[in-house]
Amino acid sequence: MAKFTMISDTEWRERLKENEYLVLRHGATEAPHVGEYTNTTTEGVYRCKACGAELFRSTEKFDAHCGWPSFFSPLAGDSVIEIDDYSLGMHRIEVRCATCESHLGHVFEGEGFDTPTDQRYCINSIALDLEERPVSDEESDGGQEQASQERESSRVSAS
């Protein structure tokens, strides 16, 4: 496996398209309602555009009517990193890929969605690649509570 944290900024610029680079490496946000995966219902696994790590499954995707792909849980407790984000004069939780530390989006809690976790992982489409394939019940094992607890215990504060 490549050591993605060792990749230089110049190499990231060469690997990614300009808009991908701005979102994944500098935390920009793509415009709402324009992303390739915002409204897709295709079955499969969503991977990090920068490194290919598996992040989310289509079985955890739901329509939050927010303009970006939304998931109620990542693939596993260690597939993403959550970081306190105090930019823009507010507190949010940034979501990054645990493998390459690329910015994916933000996670919001307590919005009242009828999902197993009441969380909304609001992810930039441009940060994802969809691998179309059947997703079995074993792969989507319903371990969201355990994964949520693991993420909570590993949340990083960037204040």
54 φ, ψ (degrees, to nearest 5): -70, 130
Catalytic residue status for 122 = yes
Q: CA-CA distances (angstroms) from residue 148 to 42, 101, 123? A: 25, 19, 17
**Given the residues 48, 51, 97, 122, the one annotated as active site:** 122
Q: Residue 56's closest CA among 97, 111, 106? A: 97
Q: The tokens of 137 are what?
A: 């019940």
Please check whether residue 23 is in contact with residue 106, taking contact to mean a CB–CB distance below 8 angstroms: no
CA angle 65/130/95 to nearest 5° reads 60
120 residue type, one letter: R
Q: What positions carry a catalytic annotation?
A: 122
